[in-house]
Amino acid sequence: MRVADLPGRPCSLAAALQLVGERWALLAVREVALGNHRFSDIARGTGAPRDRLSARLTALVAAGVLERRPYATAPPRSGYHLTAAGRDLVPVLQALLLWGERWAADRPAVRLHHETAGHGDHPVDGTWTCRTCGEPLAGARPTLTPAGRTLLGLPPEEDPR
Amino acid sequence: MRVADLPGRPCSLAAALQLVGERWALLAVREVALGNHRFSDIARGTGAPRDRLSARLTALVAAGVLERRPYATAPPRSGYHLTAAGRDLVPVLQALLLWGERWAADRPAVRLHHETAGHGDHPVDGTWTCRTCGEPLAGARPTLTPAGRTLLGLPPEEDPR
DNA sequence: GGCGGTCAGTTTGGATGTCCAACCGACTCC
DNA sequence: GGAGTCGGTTGGACATCCAAACTGACCGCC
């Protein structure tokens, strides 16, 4: 994916959306992450029409997010599995899920829970943290890209034009 | 957004995608988060066709992600600003941006930088963390939804069907 | 006053994407 | 033999998408 070829601002966000931004793509990845590897299960879980799903899965395999793995030869059948890139997409799905729980869903249909020794079972409150310094990213000052543009860090303070 | 009305598995992820999953929507939010509040600036930054952008912005305002704020009356002009829901979307954009940098972009077109007292200026090495317990979420055990289905936590261990 | 430019869209016609129902071949189960 | 499963493909109707041109209200300049 050549970032420079994308329309608009050259940005990895646009590149990511090019690969997984089409309709049903992220839902298909969710189903595979949940352990549904077969075409019909993914179709049922997402509600996507079968022809659209077929096109999306092919594209996701081409993009390196999913891989096909045969599980039967008699009639040749293969399931879809996450690649490393696909597994790396799970935090993205979690972030969108949490946002949807808070702002899109009428009621928390599905809740992310977490169980740790220190805090027992608790609802997940996800945030991005910088592994180098341990600080949350949301508090970062906007900085400059190589091209000298401001860039995603904190939504910049409102400028009252 | 009634989760039960969505096709497929009732899930806040689907609800979220219903609001911000259409083409150009997240890029438009990115532009507003970067401080571009005017229609033409958003069009330039995203590269979206103007009619599509017009439709998306209207939908995002209806969804409560953006709000219009007048800044001129002579020809009536208003800019787009983030609501609380829109600001909450920033971690999602960061998640996709970091994923895109790693898996989608040919070269790191845009780099997240971070400046803190302890570590000076350094590239961001983002990790998705639970704010309640401080543990990384990627290691979380999958848990059950109210309806008794498994749910997004860790991609479940491969079951060799 | 006339000229060009900005701004936030809308309009146009044609390309592309999406949906749905039906169908298919190669199997398995009863 | 008949029904069902599985992973798709096909066809046709419909919606969305696109680039480019257009609108109409303003603004600054000379």
Alpha-carbon gap: A60 to the closest alpha carbon of chain B (Å): 12
Å separating the CA of residue A109 from the C1' of nucleotide D6: 30
Best of B6, B101, B124 to mutate (most A CBs within 10 Å, chain A)? B124
Q: How many residues does chain A have?
A: 161
pLDDT by residue (tens digit) across A6-47? Answer: 888 888 889 999 999 999 999 999 889 888 899 999 999 899
Smallest Cα–C1' distance to nucleotide D10: which residue has it?
A51
Domain A1-88 falls under CATH 3.40.190.170? no
Coil vs helix vs strand at B44: helix
pLDDT confidence of residue B110: 58
With a cut of 50, say whether residue B96 has pLDDT above it: yes
pLDDT by residue (tens digit) across B111-146? Answer: 666 777 788 777 777 788 887 887 777 655 445 454
Would you kindly state where each structural domain of chain A is located, as residue ranges? 1-88
- Would an 8 Å CB–CB cutoff place A148 in contact with chain B? no
Q: Which range (A100-104, A110-114, B85-89, B109-113) has the least confidence? A: B109-113
CB A48 within 8 A of CB B17: no
User: Which of B119, B34, B139 lies closest to A135, judged by CA?
Assistant: B119
User: Which of A80, A33, A35, A92 lies closest to A54, judged by CA?
Assistant: A80
Amino acid sitting at position B47: G
- Average per-residue pLDDT for chain A: 80
Q: Dig out the tokens for B126 from the structure.
A: 């983002």
Q: At what angle do helices A50-63 and A39-46 cross, to 10 degrees?
A: 110
- Would an 8 Å CB–CB cutoff place B130 in contact with chain A? yes
CATH of range B1-87; options 3.10.20.30, 1.10.1740.10, 1.10.3470.10, 1.10.10.10: 1.10.10.10
Å separating the CA of residue B90 from the C1' of nucleotide D26: 35
Please say whether the dihedral angle defined by the alpha carbons of residues B132, A26, B138 and B117, taken in this order, is positive or negative: negative
With a cut of 80, say whether residue A124 has pLDDT above it: no
pLDDT by residue (tens digit) across B3-28? Answer: 778 888 888 889 999 999 999 999 99
pLDDT confidence of residue B59: 92
Amino acid sitting at position B93: L
